[in-house]
């Protein structure tokens, strides 16, 4: 794959000016995730529409992965779902999973909305890889979509409290981490300020010495190096325990 760097100095937004130069003769698709994993950034409407225009002009498909749009904490009214733009209908493959908003990880169920021209080939791939999702998962997913969605706002509020907590705890370690406050999803992606060989080395040392697990930023591409991903989709007690251990190890301010 060709990695499209995001601009940390601009809140992890897309560097639209770089996109044309990344598209080559073998480019088939551009993958977008908003809110973002691992940064928690919400990509701007203007950037998304411009990326879609560039994709159309170059005959490239947009793959829009949308697992986190139920978790938006700041400026929800500014969130834009690119799949809703009529001019993009013929070159977007929209992906949704029930694993996040409906807490159905392990049920292996989701759906795609794709241009009709792609459907026959996708059905072939699906048939040859898994035939069909287990029936009980399909029934549960259908019930989730048809039921009242009050739990979604409750879940979002819980995650927003956890976001506030993890940011408050990160603020006590300004000599260790520097971060952009996440707007959505349930991740924060701080930059490492302490000496380290790599994000992998830091993550292993944190696990071995402090008994705290983070994901090395390198796993998300070259521009993720010198960062780690932290997830706050866990109980507040777990967040506090992890940071109590890091405070003791690094020294809190």
Q: Are residues 63 and 175 in the same domain?
A: no
Q: Are residues 168 and 86 in the same domain?
A: no
Q: Does residue 55 belong to any structural domain of this protein?
A: yes
Q: Are residues 15 and 140 in the same domain?
A: yes
201: domain CATH number is: 3.90.1150.10
Q: Are residues 142 and 163 in the same domain?
A: no
Q: Can you tell me the mean pLDDT for 201-220? A: 98
Extract the tokens encoding 94.
């929209």
* pLDDT-above-90 percentage for the chain: 87
Q: Does residue 100 belong to any structural domain of this protein?
A: yes
Region of 113 on the Ramachandran plot (φ > 0 left; ψ -120 to 50 alpha; else beta): beta
pLDDT band at 33 (very low <50, low <70, confident <90, very high): very high
Give the pLDDT score at 227.
98
Give the pLDDT score at 62.
98
Containing structural domain, residue 92: 6-146
Q: Are residues 132 and 187 in the same domain?
A: no
Q: Does residue 1 belong to any structural domain of this protein?
A: no
Give the pLDDT score at 74.
87
3-state secondary structure the chain: CCCCCEEHHHCCEECHHHHHHHCCCCCCEEEEECCCCCCCCCCCHHHHHHHHHHHHHCCCEEEEECCCCCCECCCHHHCCCHHHCHHHHHHEEEEEECCCCCCCCCCCCEEEECCHHHHHHHHHHHHHHCCCCCHHHHHHHHHHHHCCCHHHHHHHHHHHHHHHHHHHHHCCCCCCEECCCCCECCEECCEECCCCCCHHHHHHHHHHHHCCCCEEHHHHCHHHCCEEEEECCCCHHHHHHHHHHHHHHHCCC
Q: Does residue 163 belong to any structural domain of this protein?
A: yes
Extract the tokens encoding 29.
């698709």
Q: Does residue 215 belong to any structural domain of this protein?
A: yes
Residue 2 has pLDDT above 90, yes or no: yes
Residue 94 has pLDDT above 90, yes or no: yes
Convert the pLDDT of each residue in 40-93 to its tens digit: 999 999 999 999 999 999 999 999 999 999 999 988 888 999 999 999 989 999
The answer to whether the bond into 35 is cis (omega within 30° of 0) is yes
Q: Are residues 142 and 154 in the same domain?
A: no
Q: Are residues 200 and 134 in the same domain?
A: no
Q: Does residue 92 belong to any structural domain of this protein?
A: yes
Give the pLDDT score at 7.
87
Q: Does residue 62 belong to any structural domain of this protein?
A: yes
Convert the pLDDT of each residue in 131-189 to its tens digit: 888 999 999 999 999 988 888 999 999 999 999 999 999 999 999 999 999 999 999 99
Q: Can you tell me the mean pLDDT for 102-109? A: 91
* Highest-scoring range by mean pLDDT, 72-76, 96-100, 238-242: 238-242
Q: Are residues 44 and 142 in the same domain?
A: yes
**Domain-ending residue, one of 146, 178, 208:** 146
**Domain-ending residue, one of 146, 174, 205:** 146
Residue 231 has pLDDT above 90, yes or no: yes
**Backbone φ and ψ of 197, nearest 5°:** -80, -40
**Backbone φ and ψ of 72, nearest 5°:** -130, 125
Extract the tokens encoding 98.
């029930």
Q: What's the whole-model pTM score?
A: 0.92
Q: Are residues 105 and 142 in the same domain?
A: yes
77: domain CATH number is: 3.40.640.10
Q: Are residues 103 and 226 in the same domain?
A: no
**Domain-ending residue, one of 146, 169, 187:** 146
Q: Are residues 211 and 99 in the same domain?
A: no
Query: How many folded domains does the chain comprise?
Result: 2
Q: Are residues 116 and 217 in the same domain?
A: no
Q: Does residue 236 belong to any structural domain of this protein?
A: yes
pLDDT band at 206 (very low <50, low <70, confident <90, very high): very high
Give the pLDDT score at 97.
95
């Amino acid at each position: 794959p060709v990695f499209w760097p995001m601009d940390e100095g601009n809140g992890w937004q897309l560097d639209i000016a770089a996109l044309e130069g990344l598209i080559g003769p073998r480019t088939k698709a551009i993958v977008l995730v908003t809110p973002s994993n691992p940064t928690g950034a919400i990509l701007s409407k203007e950037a998304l529409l411009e990326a879609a225009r560039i994709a159309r002009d170059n005959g490239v498909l947009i793959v829009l992965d949308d697992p986190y749009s139920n978790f938006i904490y700041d400026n929800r009214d500014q969130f834009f779902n690119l799949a809703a733009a009529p001019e993009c209908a013929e070159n977007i493959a929209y992906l949704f999973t029930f694993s996040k908003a409906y807490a159905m990880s392990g049920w292996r169920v989701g759906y795609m909305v794709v241009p009709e021209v792609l459907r026959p080939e996708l059905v072939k791939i699906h048939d040859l890889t898994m035939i069909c999702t287990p029936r009980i998962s399909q029934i549960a997913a259908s019930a989730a979509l048809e039921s009242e969605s009050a739990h979604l706002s409750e879940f979002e509020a819980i995650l927003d409290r956890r976001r506030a907590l993890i940011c408050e705890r990160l603020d006590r370690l300004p000599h260790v981490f520097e971060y952009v406050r996440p707007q959505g999803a349930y991740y924060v992606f701080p930059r490492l300020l302490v000496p380290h060989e790599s994000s992998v080395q830091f993550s292993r040392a944190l696990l071995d010495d402090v008994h705290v697990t983070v994901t090395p930023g390198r796993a998300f591409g070259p521009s993720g190096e010198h960062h780690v991903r932290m997830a706050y989709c866990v109980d507040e007690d777990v967040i506090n325990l992890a940071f109590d251990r890091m405070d003791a190890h690094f020294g809190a301010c």
